[in-house]
Amino acid sequence: DQQVKQNSPSLSVQEGRISILNCDYTNSMFDYFLWYKKYPAEGPTFLISISSIKDKNEDGRFTVFLNKSAKHLSLHIVPSQPGDSAVYFCAASAYSGAGSYQLTFGKGTKLSVIP
């Protein structure tokens, strides 16, 4: 049962254009959402997050949008750069009891930014 879904395994975008990565979730208890970027042979790197009390969070070229009614979030990268080429993971956090918050990851979307 996949609670966090990234339905696009890959995405190709021209340099300078907008990249939009999508993520859907099923667990209504998720209250904190994060995006991670991963280069080959490295661990995931935290990119940006959003709390469920917000619908938008912006950090430089990266903006995350949250639509709670649709259980959907997206990451916008504007403008896209070749260095943004990586696998992007969507993750969601929910309280799992006994003082624990469990982070659940999607399968990732491989973004390729073409020069």
Where on the chain is the footprint of another protein (CB under 8 A)? 4, 32, 34, 36, 41-46, 49, 89, 91, 93, 95-96, 98-108
Closest to another protein by CB, 52 vs 79, is 52
Closest to another protein by CB, 16 vs 46, is 46
* Beta strands at 72-77 and 32-38: parallel, antiparallel or unpaired: unpaired
Residue 32 CB, shortest distance to another protein, in Å, is: 6
Residue 50 CB, shortest distance to another protein, in Å, is: 11
Residue 58 CB, shortest distance to another protein, in Å, is: 16
Measured between alpha carbons, how far is residue 91 from residues 48, 73, 82, 108 in Å?
Answer: 11, 10, 23, 9
Residue 47 CB, shortest distance to another protein, in Å, is: 9
Closest to another protein by CB, 66 vs 91, is 91
* Beta strands at 62-67 and 56-59: parallel, antiparallel or unpaired: antiparallel
**Which amino acid type is present at position 7?**
N
User: Residue 110's beta-bridge partner residues?
Assistant: 10, 87
Two structure tokens written together for 103: 């982070």
Closest to another protein by CB, 85 vs 106, is 106
